[in-house]
Structure 1
Amino acid sequence: MMKTNKYDLTPILVAIFVPIGVAVLWYRSTLSRCLPPGPRNLPIVGYLPFLDPNLHTHFTNMAHSHGPIFKIWLGIKLYVVINTPELAKTVVRDQDETFANRSLTIAASIIAYGGQDIAWSNSNSSWRNLRKILVHEVLSNKNLEACSSFRTDEVRKMIKNVYSKIGTRIDVKEISFFMIANVLTTMVWGKDNHLGAELQMVVSKIVEMLGRPNLSDFFPFLTWFDLQGVERESKVHFKELDRVFTSIIDDRIKLNSERLDVGVGHEGKKDFLQILLELKDQKDATSLDITKIKALLTDIMVAGTETTTSVIEWAMTEIMQNRHVMKRVQEGLAEVVGPNNIVEESHLSKLKYLDATVKETLRLHPVVPLLVPRSPSQTCTVGGYTIPKGSTVFVNVWAIHRDPRNWDNPLEFDPERFLTEEGMDKYDFKGNNLKFFPFGSGRRLCPGVPLAEKMGMYILASFLHSFDWSLPKGEEHDFSDTFSIALKKRKPLVAIPSQRLRDVSLYV
């Protein structure tokens, strides 16, 4: 007779997972009659074993087999993917209020202070209040104009830095990141704290965590085990960023207290942090507290740096690959800026071809290719199918931007498509045309678009007016990407600048 190992866990595992498996199968079969079509699923794990890490391309290929709206089960969680402008309109316009909530992952919950920021918060009064503060106090046209000197100073420093490295290899995203981080820190808390390198490392890790598939999200009963270490690693990076914010806020509160003690008030323009702290003290007028302030700072520093630097890197890659595009961009700069001048923000609105080039970059390489996932607050219908309350909905802008039904020669990089009379009237960054909405649409439209647009255009114009660019000898452009929540180049763009303007004084 075979002896039974007293340490054999099989009976315990069977006792746990068999009832769970039966319950999952019953739940799926009950719902499936009304849900969108989708691939076959394995018991318990669903489609999880077949999921490709590059979700944007994987979901686009799946749409060819399963249609413009389809479902997948990942563990016990239901996901629905939208792949056409018509269906996207139902989600982000017709039923925008219903789909305005977020599907909060474990990593997002940690990094966003439990979903108390703008990007990951559900649509509620707190979210509306935070968004209003950000748009009114930081991103209004008046305030952006008032902060233009910050951007000008940092762009000049960047050009001087690049000039000092002429003929050497430069990481385009890295140098752009430092410049944008300096602008944001100056706008937000009044001075450059030399946090560029530290911020870049932390932000990169946070974006990776936000996009990493996590078994605990698909099987909530596994959360306690944290099998992949996503929760543990997210907490590490969160604490690093929180430590920076805590130090800056504590220093400011202490400084404010010292000023009050000696009867000294604030002079001149207040930075964003000072405005937030004053709003926090008006307890009858706002629900702000220190945690919400930190959550808002996280949005600004993470989204504000990562998205804009990614656009710059992709745009430079496409421009360098398509030499006729570079020639047209530089001809436009010569005409508007002049060969004996440097780029100013006042020039940007006149650089029509560069603007079209940025839009074409975002068409082919949207920064957040599936947008931030939505979650319906009640069961509803999209495309004739039932979308259950609490499910997760992805809007696949990557597929929409490359669909031949929406665009002629969709895989070709052609800024001219945005220069036709129809193109100039139809396409902007406000999400009004759902064939092109790289920053989302509706009430969850990214509020940082005005600043991102200014910064991206200003840096690109300065790069391309002041320098010629080439790849290191023997290297070729690599257009492969990698998916997290944001779309990154798999191989960073490293390029060699050379002097373009005759007057050396324009570089120093």
Structure 2
Amino acid sequence: MDMICKQEEIRVLVRALASAKTKVNLGQLLNVCTVNALGQVMMGKRVFGDGSGGADPEADEFKSMVVELMQLAGVFNIGDFIPALEWLDLQGVQAKMKKLHNRFDRFLSAILEEHKTKARQSNGQVKHKDFLSTLISLENVDGAEGGKLSNTEIKALLLNMFTAGTDTSSSTVEWAMAELIRHPNIMAQVRQELDSVVGRDRLVSDLDLPNLTYFQAVIKETFRLHPSTPLSLPRMASDSCDINGYHIPKGATLLVNVWAISRDPNEWNNPLEFRPERFLPGGERPNADVRGNDFEVIPFGAGRRICAGMSLGLRMVQLLTATLAHAFEWELADGLMPEKMDMEEAYGLTLQRAAPLMVHPRPRLSKHAY
């Protein structure tokens, strides 16, 4: 089901890009695509838009909420380090979080109520039982105990899925496309491989991905240089221990600096250079695995708290990036030269681009492929 949803939403995105007459904000369209693909799996419906690629205020609002959540979650908060000052909320972080919570609550409540209404109207006779339907079937309706879910818990699960599974994927694809546009020689090699494996008469499919050796190296290099969650998520030490001369007390909150590990010159040659060849035979890490088995590059984390949606996220990033590189020629907006592109990062829990990627897409495949 998730493979069908991905390809369906990617085709909607491709058609919107193919018909675009002006410059587009690629990151925004990618976010809508990933939200809708996840929405199809979770709720059996698109969340935003009609696929026309036009302005969608609701999608813009959702994107802004997710970005704000990641910024507030990643901000340096004095109260976290000096508990005696926490109640003062000197930076207004708690106040902003409460306001953002109310916005998310309205958004998720509307989704939940709409789903329940449709279920009542169909008397439970639905062709596809999606994730949200399953959660609702476990709802604690009568207040009885026994492991049932409350409305609040269902909305919390939806919030986790939407925030963790959408902006991370779309921002990674945006970084990948920015690097490919900035390095025309790498883009040319990617397209040569895609044209050889896929041809120019159809779009890339999931079945093509294992045959794209160089492209897979490009994706690994993107995950290395631009990990979607640069500080991973907080861990807590279950027991006191000593590591490399540092004492870690039981209960201490730990943050793994994935971003710094991926750019450590002791582990990587020329770490700031975007060089996919490092993951190919003859390179420094030809067999590196981004699924948490090689700690030099762990974009999804590792161990028991590894990203629960890793497989879906990885396939979405691969399929989206391959499709965009294969189906379109890309020109930066306002005559900007690739070497002058702004590659600065924005501060937050996730690794956003400081400047959105504004581009003009030009179709390069046979017309019937779109």
Scaled by the length of structure 1, what TM-score is found? 0.66
SS in structure 1 opposite 2:87? coil
Which of 139, 154, 158 is 2:13 aligned to? 158
Task: Pick closer, same or farther for the CA change 1:383–1:241 going to 2, 3 Å.
Answer: same
What is the alpha-carbon distance in structure 2 between the residues aligned to residue 313 and residue 286 of structure 1? 40
Secondary structure of the structure 1 residue equivalent to 2:346 = strand
1:235 aligns to 2:98 (yes or no): yes
Percent of matched pairs sharing the same residue: 36
Q: Which of 326, 347, 354 lines up with 2:187 in the alignment?
A: 326
Report the CA distance between 1:405 and its aligned residue. 2.1
Deviation at 1:424, TM superposition (A): 7.6
CA distance in 1, matches of 2:19, 2:100: 33
Q: Among 18, 28, 42, which residue is 1:174 paired with? A: 28
Amino acid at match of 1:496: H
Counterpart for residue 348 of structure 2: 484
1:278 aligns with 2:133: no
Matches within 5 A, 1:211-360: 211-259=74-122, 264-280=123-139, 286-360=147-221
Bigger-Rg structure (1/2):
1
User: How far off is 1:174 after superposition?
Assistant: 0.9
Aligned length: 356
Map of 2:51 onto structure 1: none
* 1:9-408 equivalent positions in 2, closer than 5 A: 146-166=1-21, 168-194=22-48, 195-259=58-122, 264-280=123-139, 286-408=147-269
For the Cα contact (< 8 Å) 2:71–2:348, is it kept in 1?
yes
Q: Distance in 2 between matches of 1:297 and 1:280?
A: 14
Q: Is the 8 A contact 1:376 1:389 kept in 2?
A: yes
> What SS does the aligned partner of 1:192 have?
coil
Measured at CA, do residues 284 and 337 of structure 1 come closer, stay the same or move farther in structure 2, by a change above 3 Å? farther
For 1:228, give the aligned amino acid.
Answer: Q
SS in 2 for 1:330: helix
3-state SS of 2:166 partner: helix
Q: State the Cα distance separating 1:281 from its structure 2 match.
A: 5.1
Amino acid at match of 1:435: E
Residues 1:413 and 2:274 aligned together: yes
SS at match of 1:496: strand
Q: Could you report, residue by residue, the CA deviation over 1:381-425 in whole angstroms, capped at 9, with x for unpaired residues?
A: 222321123333222222221222212232221111112178787
Deviations 1:46-82 (A, max 9, x none): xxxxxxxxxxxxxxxxxxxxxxxxxxxxxxxxxxxxx
The whole-number CA distance in structure 1 between the counterparts of 2:47 and 2:229 is 28
Please name the residue that 1:95 is paired with: none
Q: Is residue 197–residue 212 contact of structure 2 (8 Å, CA) maintained in 1? A: yes
In structure 2, runs of 5+ residues without a counterpart are: 49-57
Letter in structure 2 aligned against 1:478: D
After superposition, what is the alpha-carbon deviation per residue over 1:106-132, rounded to whole angstroms, capped at 9, x for unaligned?
xxxxxxxxxxxxxxxxxxxxxxxxxxx
* Unpaired runs of at least 5, structure 1: 1-145
* CA separation of 1:405 and 1:287: change in aligned 2, threshold 3 A: farther
Quick check: 2:277–2:283 contact (8 Å CA) kept in 1?
A: no
Q: Evaluate the alpha carbon distance shift between residue 147 and residue 474 of structure 1 in structure 2; reply closer, same or farther with a 3 A threshold.
A: closer
Amino acid at match of 1:155: I
8 Å CA contact 1:181–1:196 kept in 2: the answer is no
Deviation at 1:440, TM superposition (A): 0.6
Distance in structure 2 (CA, Å) of the matches to 1:362 and 1:383: 27
With the length of structure 2 as denominator, give the TM-score of the two structures.
Answer: 0.89
1:174, 1:248 → 2: CA distance? 21
Q: CA deviation at 1:499?
A: 2.3
Query: 1-side partners of 2:117 and 2:181: how far apart?
Result: 49
**Residues 324 and 245 of structure 1: is their aligned pair in 2 closer, same or farther, counting only changes over 3 Å?**
same
Give me the whole-angstrom Cα distance separating, in 2, the residues matched to 1:317 and 1:257.
46
| Aligned 8 A contact 1:315 1:358 in 2 | yes
Task: Spell out, residue by residue over 1:475-507, the C-alpha distance to the aligned partner (whole angstroms, 9 max, x if none).
Answer: 421121122111221111112222212x22322
Q: Given residue 127 of structure 2, which amino acid in structure 1 is its aligned partner?
A: G
Question: How much does 1:296 deviate?
Answer: 1.4
Provide the residue aligned with 1:122 in structure 2: none
- Between the aligned partners of 1:285 and 1:351, the Cα distance in structure 2 is 49
Runs of 4+, deviation exceeding 6 Å: 282-285, 421-425
Which residue number corresponds to residue 51 of structure 1? none
Asked if the contact 2:71/2:349 (under 8 Å) is kept, the reply is yes
